[in-house]
């Protein structure tokens, strides 16, 4: 099949040149967006200091070792600060260009890749994924202690919206999910959070031999659906997922520190990963992969192992400034600095309710790669209707509020998530600082 980049090279090459010239001319700041005066952007400087207080307090309480916070509004950066330590054992302070394991914040990036291929006419979202990945043809579903034939097949939209029936083994909070978790574990299913042999195609082969949690399209269940879509990108484009994301997304957007696997010169910029201790403090995660029930993770999977497994659901590392460029492109309707990756209509498709009457939580829906604030009053938080967001298991979070033209990014490294709900409090602290 014709490689996707061959159909776009004549368009993209001049845009790369434009970005390079702008960088040489110093017209782009280090974070890629201009710095703005917080007061002129509608923030109270005094209230914005509560973000600092929140994060420094969490560091003093040994909930986290450090963090980077970024707030942008109207296309300008109001706050970009680093706090605490990136690595306490090595006395390495946190910096605004510190690299973080972003885990599930990889999912919107892979979803973007899928929608770029959709725009290029390679498939319909209603197509069964078995058209490209035959392992998923004629799926089975769990039925009590047995399995049964599914009535329908998994579509590409089911995968984008987590309504496919594919799960995660570390989410085993119901009897059905517990049963499926055991099957996933026994089949050697990787969640992409630790060093993994082989290729993402191996995941499709193994999942195709296992039952689904439910009839495709009938429920919402977070899981490995986006990893399967990473395999779809590889099949359609003729490239590895890493190659496609590099050439079609990261280079065009100037995301110079976003990768699946870090080169040696960047490993020292990767923040250490921390986990709680029995005395209430935190310690660094080191050594071999850690197993916590069905959850398997490591701190080294982005620079160790065979480097052949591209987890479209969890594998990327990035910086707050890099991820801002990605989000600002969405907020701009699919374009940034003269580089257009999507049409405004496709951005609208991705950031609206894609699961109908199904629910993720009270007032919360899911689009094509993002959680969507459908009814903020039921969510009991300050998001505007239509805000889209997500986070990562290693304690990262972002949100985009189109009504306020607002982006917030919080990055730290702790597993499991912090008991003080620092990410949620960062969202609240951001909104309370807006006075105009």
> Looking at the domain assignment, is residue 46 inside a domain?
yes
Q: What is the pLDDT of residue 3?
A: 55
Enter the DSSP assignment of 46. H
Q: What is the pLDDT of residue 295?
A: 97
Q: Are 63 and 208 found together in one domain?
A: no
DSSP secondary structure letters along 383-430: PPTT-EEEEETTTEEEEEETTTTEEEEEE--BSS--TT-HHHHHHHHH
Q: What is the pLDDT of residue 121?
A: 98
Number of domains in the chain: 2
Q: Are 178 and 65 found together in one domain?
A: no
Q: What is the pLDDT of residue 415?
A: 97
Q: Are 426 and 282 found together in one domain?
A: yes
Instruction: Report how far residue 55's alpha carbon sits from residue 64's, in angstroms, rounded to the nearest whole number.
Output: 9
Q: Which residue range(s) make up the domain with 212?
A: 112-237
In terms of Cα–Cα distance, which of 263, 384, 356 is closest to 317?
263
For 167, left (φ over 0), alpha (ψ -120 to 50), or beta? beta
Contact predicate 32/254, CB 8 Å:
yes
Q: Are 92 and 118 found together in one domain?
A: no
Q: Are 322 and 377 found together in one domain?
A: yes
Q: Are 233 and 274 found together in one domain?
A: no
> Looking at the domain assignment, is residue 5 inside a domain?
no
Whole-model pTM: value is 0.94
> Looking at the domain assignment, is residue 370 inside a domain?
yes
Q: Are 269 and 417 found together in one domain?
A: yes
Enter the tokens of residue 213. Answer: 């949690």
Task: Report pLDDT digits (tens) over 90-137.
Answer: 999 999 999 999 999 999 999 999 999 999 999 999 999 999 999 999
For 380, left (φ over 0), alpha (ψ -120 to 50), or beta? left
> Looking at the domain assignment, is residue 327 inside a domain?
yes
Instruction: Please identify, among 189, 209, 237, the residue that sits at the C-terminal boundary of a domain.
Output: 237
Instruction: Report how far residue 114's alpha carbon sits from residue 128's, in angstroms, rounded to the nearest whole number.
Output: 14
> Looking at the domain assignment, is residue 178 inside a domain?
yes
pLDDT per residue of the chain (436 residues) written in tens, 0 to 9: 445 555 454 444 444 444 444 443 333 444 569 999 999 999 999 999 999 999 999 999 999 999 999 999 999 999 999 999 999 999 999 999 999 999 999 999 999 999 999 999 999 999 999 999 999 999 999 998 899 999 999 999 999 999 999 999 999 999 999 999 999 999 999 999 999 999 999 999 999 999 999 999 999 999 999 999 999 999 999 999 999 999 999 999 999 999 999 999 999 999 999 999 999 999 999 988 999 999 999 999 999 889 999 999 999 999 999 999 999 999 999 999 999 999 999 999 999 999 999 989 999 999 999 999 999 999 999 999 999 999 999 999 999 999 999 999 999 999 998 888 999 999 999 999 999 9
Instruction: Report how far residue 73's alpha carbon sits from residue 81's, in angstroms, rounded to the nearest whole number.
Output: 15
**Residue 428, φ and ψ in degrees, nearest 5:** -60, -45
**Residue 391, φ and ψ in degrees, nearest 5:** -150, -175
SS3 content of the chain, % helix, strand, coil (to 5): 35, 20, 45
Q: What is the pLDDT of residue 417?
A: 83
Instruction: Report how far residue 433's alpha carbon sits from residue 94's, in angstroms, rounded to the nearest whole number.
Output: 24
Contact predicate 311/298, CB 8 Å:
no
Q: What is the pLDDT of residue 5?
A: 54
**Which residues share a beta bridge with 372?**
365, 388
Contact predicate 435/47, CB 8 Å:
yes
Other C-beta atoms within 10 Å of 269: how many? 17
Q: Are 338 and 231 found together in one domain?
A: no
Instruction: Please identify, among 203, 237, 271, the residue that sits at the C-terminal boundary of a domain.
Output: 237
If you search the block for the tokens 């495709």, which residue do you land on? 216
Contact predicate 270/87, CB 8 Å:
no
Q: Are 210 and 268 found together in one domain?
A: no
Peptide bond preceding 248: is omega within 30 degrees of 0, i.e. cis?
A: no
**Which residues share a beta bridge with 409?**
70, 398
Of 65, 82, 104, 164, the catalytic one is 104
Q: What residues contact residue 193 under an 8 Å CB cut-off, 6+ apart? A: 103, 295, 296, 297, 298, 301, 311, 314, 393
Q: Which helix (H) or strand (E) holds 67?
A: strand 66-73
Q: What is the pLDDT of residue 6?
A: 52
∠ CA 95-96-102, rounded to 5° = 100
Enter the DSSP assignment of 246. I
Q: Are 380 and 421 found together in one domain?
A: yes
**Residue 393, φ and ψ in degrees, nearest 5:** -65, -20
> Looking at the domain assignment, is residue 17 inside a domain?
no
Task: Report pLDDT digits (tens) over 309-362.
Answer: 999 999 999 999 999 999 999 999 999 999 999 999 999 999 999 999 998 999
Contact predicate 228/204, CB 8 Å:
yes
**Residue 389, φ and ψ in degrees, nearest 5:** -160, 170
Q: What is the pLDDT of residue 388?
A: 98
Instruction: Report how far residue 405's alpha carbon sits from residue 133's, in angstroms, rounded to the nearest whole number.
Output: 39
Q: Are 72 and 196 found together in one domain?
A: no
For residue 172, indicate whether it is catalytic: no
Q: What residues contact residue 353 under an 8 Å CB cut-off, 6+ apart? A: 365, 366, 367, 372, 374
- CA 347, 352, 358, 364 torsion-angle sign: positive
DSSP secondary structure letters along 261-293: S--GGGGGGBPPPEEE-TTS-EEE--SSPEEET
CA distances from 91 to 66, 86, 88, 298, 411 (A): 12, 8, 5, 21, 19
> Looking at the domain assignment, is residue 9 inside a domain?
no
Q: What is the pLDDT of residue 1?
A: 44
- The domain that holds 187 is classified in CATH as 3.40.710.10
> Looking at the domain assignment, is residue 8 inside a domain?
no
Q: Are 201 and 103 found together in one domain?
A: no
């Amino acid at each position: 099949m014709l490689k996707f980049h061959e159909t776009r090279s004549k368009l993209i090459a001049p845009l790369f040149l434009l970005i390079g010239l702008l960088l040489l001319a110093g017209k782009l700041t280090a974070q890629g967006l201009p710095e703005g005066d917080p007061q002129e952007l509608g923030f109270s400087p005094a209230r914005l200091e509560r973000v600092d207080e929140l994060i420094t307090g969490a560091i003093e309480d040994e909930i986290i070792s450090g963090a980077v916070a970024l707030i942008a509004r109207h296309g300008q950066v109001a706050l970009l600060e680093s706090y605490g330590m990136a690595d306490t054992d090595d006395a390495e302070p946190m910096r605004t260009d510190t690299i973080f394991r972003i885990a599930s914040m990889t999912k919107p990036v892979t979803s973007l890749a899928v929608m770029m291929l959709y725009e290029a006419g390679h498939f319909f979202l209603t197509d069964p994924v078995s058209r490209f990945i035959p392992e998923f043809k004629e799926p089975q579903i769990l039925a009590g202690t047995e399995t049964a034939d599914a009535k329908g097949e998994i579509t590409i939209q089911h995968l984008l919206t987590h309504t496919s029936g594919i799960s995660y083994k570390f989410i085993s909070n119901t009897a059905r999910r517990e049963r499926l978790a055991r099957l996933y574990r026994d089949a050697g299913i990787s969640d992409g959070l630790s060093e993994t042999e082989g290729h993402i195609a191996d995941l499709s082969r193994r999942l195709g031999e296992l039952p689904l949690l439910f009839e495709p399209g009938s429920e919402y269940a977070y899981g490995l659906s986006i990893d399967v879509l990473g395999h779809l990108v590889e099949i359609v484009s003729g490239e590895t997922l890493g190659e496609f994301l590099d050439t079609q997304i990261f280079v065009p957007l100037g995301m110079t520190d976003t990768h699946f696997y870090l080169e040696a010169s960047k490993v020292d910029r990767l923040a250490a990963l921390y986990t709680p201790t029995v005395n209430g403090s935190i310690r660094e995660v080191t050594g071999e992969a850690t197993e916590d029930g069905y959850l398997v993770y490591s701190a080294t999977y982005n620079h160790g192992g065979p480097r052949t497994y591209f987890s479209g659901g969890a594998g990327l590392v990035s910086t707050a400034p890099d991820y801002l460029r990605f989000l600002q492109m969405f907020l701009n309707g699919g374009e940034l600095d003269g580089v257009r990756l999507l049409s405004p209509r496709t951005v609208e498709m991705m950031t609206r309710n894609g699961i109908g009457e199904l629910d993720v939580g009270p007032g919360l829906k899911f689009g094509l790669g993002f959680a969507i604030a459908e009814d903020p009053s039921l969510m009991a938080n300050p998001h505007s209707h239509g805000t889209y967001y997500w986070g990562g298991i290693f304690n990262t979070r972002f949100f985009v509020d189109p009504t306020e033209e607002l982006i917030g990014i919080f990055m730290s490294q702790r597993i499991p998530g912090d008991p003080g709900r620092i990410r949620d409090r960062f969202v609240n602290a951001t909104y309370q600082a807006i006075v105009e």
